[in-house]
Amino acid sequence: MAAIVVSALVALGADSPALGVPSRALVITPGDLAAPDAADLAGASHALVIGERRHEPLVRRHAAALADRGLPVAWRALPHGPGAILLIANQAAAVGLDAGRTVAFVDELARTTWSGAWTPTVAKLEHPAPSVGQHLRSWAPMGAGFVVTLSGTSPAVRAVGHDVAPDEPTEARGPLYGGAPEWIPEAARAHLLAASGCTEIVELDALVLDPAERFGTGRAVELVALPAARLQLPVPRGACPTCDTAVVTDFCPFCHVRRTDPVDSRGAIA
C-alpha cells in the first residue's frame, strides 16, 4: 500500500499545547517553504498538502516544492479554519488508507465537518468579511458577540441571536470542540450548537492555536465539529499507471493522468 504523509499548513501560537499528531501528519507554518525535513518524509511514497482556502497560493507552492523533491503530491485548500485543518490532517494520517483513498477521505471529511468561531468583535476579521453594520456593532457595549461560520459553500458572520439555524449541509455530528469554551457567553453557545448541529461543547486543548492571526482577536474561540457517522468513501475504480495508487475518480489526484481500469477476466480471452 502506498504510504502517504499529510502536511497541514497551520500557524501555531506560542501558547499552543503539544499536539500529539500521528507520525504521518506534519504541521508546517504556511510561510516555511523549506519544510518538511527529509527525515519527516522517510518511507513516504506520496504527500498530501492541506490548508485553508485563504492560503491557497501557499498550499500550491508547498505542493510544488514537495513535487520537486520527487514525491507525487496532491493538495487541497479547504473552507475551514486552522483548527479544523489540523484535525482533518490528524484523521487522514491515522486512518491507514492507500494514498489515493486518503485524498477521498479528506474530501469527504472536509465536506461533512463544521468549523467556525465565536468572537466578541469583528473589527479585524478579514475572512469572511463582516458588513459595515457588524463593524459598528463591534464597538457597542452590548450583545454577546458574533458566530463565524467558515465551512460550507457560504461562509458567514452573524451576530449572536440573529439568523439562528443549522448551517447547510446539515449532518449528524459529534461534539462541538473548542479550545477555551468557558469564554463563550451562554447565548453564543446556543447559537453555535444550532449552527453546527451539535448538542454539546467539549474543550479540546489542540484547538488552542492563534485566534488573533485568524480571527483578529486573541479573545476568539475556534470550534470544530466532526461527523458522527462513519464516512462512506467511493470504491476505487482503478489504479494510476504512473504512481500506482488507487484512483476513485477518472484521474489520479497526484499525477493527474487517467486511471488504468482493472482487467475484466471474463473478456480477457477472445
Which domains does the chain possess?
4-112 (3.40.250), 114-227 (3.30.1180)
Number of CB atoms found within 10 A of residue 172's CB: 10
pLDDT of the residue at 146: 95
* 127-171 per-position pLDDT tens digit: 999 999 888 888 776 779 999 999 988 899 999 987 677 776 667
* 219-255 per-position pLDDT tens digit: 999 999 999 988 999 998 899 999 999 999 999 999 9
pLDDT of residue 1 exceeding 60, the answer is: no
The three cell numbers of residue 84 are 479544523
* 25-71 per-position pLDDT tens digit: 888 888 888 888 888 888 899 999 999 999 999 999 999 999 999 99
pLDDT of the residue at 17: 53
By DSSP bridging, strand 25-28 and strand 246-247 are unpaired
Q: 149, 159, 92, 86: which is closest to 121 by C-alpha?
A: 159
pLDDT of residue 175 exceeding 80, the answer is: yes
* CA pair distance 190, 84, nearest whole angstrom: 21
Q: What is the DSSP string of 200-227?
A: -EEE-GGG-S-HHHHHSSTT-EEEEEEE
- What ranges make up the beta strands (E) of 70-206? 73-78, 114-119, 146-149, 156-159, 173-178, 201-203
Confidence of residue 256 (pLDDT cuts 50, 70, 90): very high
* CA pair distance 92, 66, nearest whole angstrom: 18
Helix (H, G, I), strand (E, B) or coil at 122: coil
pLDDT of the residue at 12: 76
pLDDT of the residue at 2: 63
pLDDT of residue 23 exceeding 50, the answer is: yes
Q: 230, 232, 203, 229: which is closest to 83 by C-alpha?
A: 203
Helix (H, G, I), strand (E, B) or coil at 40: helix
* CA pair distance 113, 167, nearest whole angstrom: 11
pLDDT of the residue at 84: 96
Q: Do residues 227 and 169 lie in contact, with contact meaning Cβ atoms separated by under 8 Å?
A: no
pLDDT of residue 180 exceeding 60, the answer is: yes
